[in-house]
Structure 1
Amino acid sequence: MLQILLVDDENDALEALEWKLNNYIENVEITKCNSPVKAIDIINEEKPDVVFLDIQMPEMDGFTMLEKLENRDFNLIFTTAHDEFALKAIKVSAIDYLLKPVDKDELIVSMEKIINLKKGDVLENKLQVLLNNLNDSNDKINISADGKVYLLDKDDVVMLKSDKSYTTIYLKSEQQIVVSKTLKEVEKKFLFSHFFRVHNSYLINLHHVKEYLKGLGGELIMTNGLTASISRNRKAELFKKLYLD
């Protein structure tokens, strides 16, 4: 039985979607919510399998609601009447969406995809890509460390280096910021096209690569003089990104 939560400030839209799910999709149990604020509590406490989320709502939009969630272990389908820019960002993140009024056949296709996927299939990463793309015009990355929140310019970050449960961020000003999180956790803030994980211990800004040193895996010399090792299994993709032969 799939547990489904519908979140939309329009009651007519909620009832119409509920009717279609009940009539065209088997084995579903549906909860409706017309408040994104209340929906946050429902998701965190009840952990639904699927969330249908409206984008434009008066209390807060769907994107803001997602940022506030503690639990993101669910499959997500956006529902929206319009918003061309948001739809482009959603497409890039590979999250599904349906235009309102929801078409029966498109609903069936979306649900079939979900049924064939694992619960919350890499949704965390998809959401971060989405949120980064929505804010792509904002070059600031917020990093919490040392009791402060640093607002970093993307182009000022040269590379990140892992040290077990800590991550050091190296800036072109030669400042270093030590974050008490793993590189895997911090990396979610840097899901932009010019940041690339070249090694389990290194995430680099491709704009700051100065030299490539040949070797078994090879090393990169960055503009701040530091080096980053390259994993052999990431070498081919790195070469494509750097246009190397």
Structure 2
Amino acid sequence: MLKAIIIDDEPDCVALMALQLKAHCPGVRVVLQTTQPEEGLEAIRDMEPDLVFLDVEMPRMNGFSLLEKLDEIPLGLIFVTAYNEFALKAFRFSALDYLLKPINSTHLCEAVRKAEKRQRTDSRQLDMLRYQLKEGQLPSKIAVPFQSGVVFVELKELVYCQADSNYTRLFLTNGKNYLLSKTLRDVQEVLEERNFLRVHRQYLINLEHIKMYHKGDGSYLVMTGDVTLPLAKNQKDRLVEKFGWL
């Protein structure tokens, strides 16, 4: 049974989430629900919860300010937000879980299931997210969670991404690769504004790492490391738009 704390300055949101957890997540027991971040902070210290649902924007003390006052970050941390699409992309770059208001019960259950498996949140993920939300720009790296933690990948070192069923494998310039528990479409949504292009149903590439384009039937691209990747016919025009020399 996971002990959970809900911290949100909107009473209706707190009450609704508590009801949804009770109805849909029997493995979660809410030990405190509060609209006062100061009370929530003390409860985290005293009760040592397994899971904290934390509103990002609150008066007097926002979610980040609260976390800065903790020596350790709670095992399971799920942000609750009403942010816009840019901010949601920032959450994805940081590989931090979030729930968008109004809370959807299906998404809530998915977040709880992920929290049950997840390791402790890495403080660098919070630093990355805070920078993005403050500066209004996406960072030069992406957080990639894996079984024993989080690895931070420089986008300039990411050559291409390959679909692997419901997962995505990331291939780097140093020859290493990481399996990400996201679909290629999910990864595309995050990286498409950062000079990446979906060139095939199975591949998303970093345009900075194209070495050669081979025309004709069976068009293909040669990437850094001399990796050969197919180019779908319906994606050629998008490649032309990016470079203008085909």
The TM tier, using the shorter chain, reads 0.5 to 0.7
User: In the alignment, which residue of structure 1 is the partner of 2:103?
Assistant: 102
Deviates more, 1:127-136 or 1:40-49: 127-136
Contact 1:47 1:71 in 2 (8 A): no
Displacement after TM superposition at 1:132 (Å): 3.3
User: In the alignment, which residue of structure 1 is the partner of 2:133?
Assistant: 134
Amino acid across the alignment from 1:61:
N
Deviations 1:58-99 (A, max 9, x none): 122222222222220321111122344432221111111111
Aligned residues: 156
Distance in 1 between residues matched to 2:153 and 2:129, nearest whole Å:
10
Contact 2:4 2:50 in 1 (8 A): yes
Secondary structure of the corresponding residue to residue 58 of structure 1: coil
Distance in 1 between residues matched to 2:72 and 2:153, nearest whole Å:
23
Displacement after TM superposition at 1:137 (Å): 6.3
User: In the alignment, which residue of structure 1 is the partner of 2:73?
Assistant: 72
1:195/1:54 CA distance change after superposition, 3 Å:
same
TM-score (norm: length of structure 2):
0.53
Deviations 1:97-151 (A, max 9, x none): 1111111111111112222x1452x43332232223334469xxxxxxxxxxxxx
Secondary structure of the corresponding residue to residue 33 of structure 2: strand
Distance in 2 between residues matched to 1:192 and 1:62, nearest whole Å:
26
User: In the alignment, which residue of structure 2 is the partner of 1:11?
Assistant: 11
Deviates more, 1:87-96 or 1:17-26: 87-96
User: In the alignment, which residue of structure 2 is the partner of 1:23?
Assistant: 23
Amino acid across the alignment from 1:126:
Q
User: In the alignment, which residue of structure 2 is the partner of 1:211?
Assistant: none
1:52/1:46 CA distance change after superposition, 3 Å:
same
User: In the alignment, which residue of structure 2 is the partner of 1:205?
Assistant: none
User: In the alignment, which residue of structure 2 is the partner of 1:124?
Assistant: 123
Amino acid across the alignment from 2:72:
N
Q: Percent of aligned pairs with the same residue?
A: 32
Distance in 2 between residues matched to 1:105 and 1:137, nearest whole Å:
30
Secondary structure of the corresponding residue to residue 78 of structure 1: strand
Note the aligned Cα RMSD (angstroms): 3.4
Amino acid across the alignment from 1:21:
L
**Unmatched runs of 5 consecutive residues or more in structure 2:** 138-151, 158-172, 177-205, 210-223, 226-246
Secondary structure of the corresponding residue to residue 101 of structure 1: coil
Displacement after TM superposition at 1:51 (Å): 0.8
1:29/1:88 CA distance change after superposition, 3 Å:
same
Displacement after TM superposition at 1:194 (Å): 8.6
Deviations 1:13-48 (A, max 9, x none): 111000000111113221112111222222123221
Verify: 1:89 aligned to 2:90, yes or no: yes
Contact 1:54 1:78 in 2 (8 A): yes
Verify: 1:47 aligned to 2:48, yes or no: yes
TM-score (norm: length of structure 1):
0.53
Deviations 1:192-245 (A, max 9, x none): 94999xxxxxxxxxxxxxxxxxxxxxxxxxxxxxxxxxxxxx9546xx9x9786
User: In the alignment, which residue of structure 2 is the partner of 1:179?
Assistant: none
Contact 2:4 2:51 in 1 (8 A): yes
Secondary structure of the corresponding residue to residue 26 of structure 2: coil
Distance in 2 between residues matched to 1:10 and 1:129, nearest whole Å:
26
